[in-house]
Amino acid sequence: MRKSKLIEDYKDLAYDAVAPFAHAAIRQTTASPFLTKGADLVKNLAAAVAALDADVAATDHPTPAQTAQRDLLRAATATELGRLGKRLNLDYPGDEPALLSSGLTLASATGTLASVAPAPASVMDFDLVDSAAGYLLVKLRRPAGVTQNLIRYSLDGKLPEDNWLVAVGGGRERALGPFESGAKVFVKAAGLTGSTTEPQYSAVKSRIVQ
């Protein structure tokens, strides 16, 4: 019988899934009662995703050169996810509860990502309503199992997805803004679980800012 083993190659994670997946793994590994010194295990991963987060926060509309740099940071984060998986496989061979508690994903029989397609339950909907002046409020309807929200928003619904702004976090409400009064804001959202590798976005909704 094949022993449980975590995936060690995360290079095929979806563009938007890398940072949220890394944050989930850091949080779960650190808090896991099944793992020894979980906080020490994720130090390199935490540093990699912090650099990626800082880059995303610093530039709303990256140039081609900045996009290439961001891709390198994203690849570095995916590499650290793989290293964490390899370390846990060595330290906890076949111990499925311990391995799963890290937030990483068990490999299929072929050792690929084939078994971790997103579950339909991770698709969520939301309402977009007025908030304080210049702000909109996203009121999420989160399915069971969702641990992280991934929201994309833009003042131009025709922009490529990579150029939309990103908001992540937990909870069921998220304020977006500030925007100028009269601006039309386009929003879509996805719910992420510990094993989500491809965000499943809701339909795009829009609203005029008051």
For the segment 152-178, the average pLDDT, to the nearest whole number, is 86
Q: Are 176 and 167 in contact (CB under 8 A)?
A: yes
Q: What is the mean pLDDT of the chain?
A: 85
* Cα pseudo-dihedral 58, 125, 129, 176, rounded to 10: -10
- The pLDDT-based confidence of 2 (bands split at 50, 70, 90) is low
SS3 assignment, position 137: strand
72-90 mean pLDDT: 95
pLDDT at 196: 65
Domain residues of the chain, as ranges?
18-115, 120-208
Render pLDDT for 104-147 as a digit per residue (tens, 0 to 9): 888 765 444 433 333 344 468 899 999 989 999 999 998 877 77
Burial class from Cβ neighbours inside 10 Å (0-12, 13-18, 19+) for residue 177 reads: middle
The answer as to CATH 3.30.10.20 being correct for domain 120-208 is no
pTM: 0.59
> Could you give the percent of the chain with pLDDT greater than 90?
42
